[in-house]
Amino acid sequence: MTTTPVRFGLLFPTANADARDFSSLLSRAAPGATLGVVELSWPTGTHSELGSMSDDELAVTVAQLGDPSVIAEALSGSAGQYEAVALAVTSASFLRSANEHRRQLEAIETTAQSAETSTLRGFQDAITHLGVISVSVASVYPPHFTDSFIDHVSRPRVDVVHRVDANARTDRDPAQWGDAKIIDLVAKAAHPRAQAVLLPETALHTDHLTSSLEDVAGVPVLTATQVTVWSLYRSVDTMPSATGAGLLFIG
């Protein structure tokens, strides 16, 4: 019997990053799924200036990318096209409050008339699903960005025991990182007490590195690509399986 692929949508700023990692993972995942990439546009005139902004200006600009009105505009006319849509810009969620993150998800649900999720929700739910209580963070971001991410993923029973901040200023930088640099970041983030390492950046190309990352960390490494795709499936009440994709995809 042939089953119809699940239709997923991905809100993603493709100007300096591409979605090939998501497509690569989905090509191995079951049940089958298709992926439509929806361009999430940076505020006018800001993206080329991100690298020269102050820390505060950078945080405000990235947070604006996740404004519910921006999300609704990007998804305008998409009602019924997707069964689930994910906001795949981790920082655009964690630089906003928990209540604002909920509003982002509501904007997706209302505009696309679909199930909704985000990379940030994927990390939160994956930590709970795996039952880990101590994690470390391999962050490509400046320290104040990492602080905000940790605020969203740490909970009364989840302890962030270690972190590394690579201080990348734009998505352009991590999108161009080679394998060795990504592996080195995860190796530096490994900690004896950490039961998992979180790698929260969707611009990184990590899908082919799952085994290498887990080898240097000695524990599961949850990448932004993994948790986003996993969360898309979960949002339509499906447990996915895929080879070479870590614990979330064992079926």
pLDDT digits over 143-162, tens only? 999 999 999 999 888 999 99
Confidence tier at 105 by pLDDT (50, 70, 90)? very high
Q: Is the dihedral of CA 5, 7, 9, 14 positive or negative?
A: positive
Instruction: Choose the weakest-confidence range: 16-30, 99-113, 192-206.
Output: 16-30
pLDDT above 80: residue 123:
yes
Q: Are 86 and 10 in contact (CB under 8 A)?
A: yes
pLDDT above 80: residue 134:
yes
User: Model-level pTM?
Assistant: 0.95
pLDDT above 90: residue 218:
yes
Would you state the pLDDT for residue 16? 54
Average pLDDT over every residue of 56-79: 92
User: From residue 103, how far is each of 107, 141, 179 by CA, in Å?
Assistant: 6, 24, 35
User: From residue 112, how far is each of 5, 75, 103, 105, 108 by CA, in Å?
Assistant: 18, 6, 14, 11, 6
User: From residue 45, how far is each of 41, 49, 61, 116 by CA, in Å?
Assistant: 11, 8, 11, 29
Average pLDDT over every residue of 173-188: 95
Which tokens go with 135? 């994690």
Would you state the pLDDT for residue 3? 79
pLDDT above 70: residue 45:
no
pLDDT above 70: residue 55:
yes
Higher pLDDT, 2 or 167: 167
Would you state the pLDDT for residue 18? 78
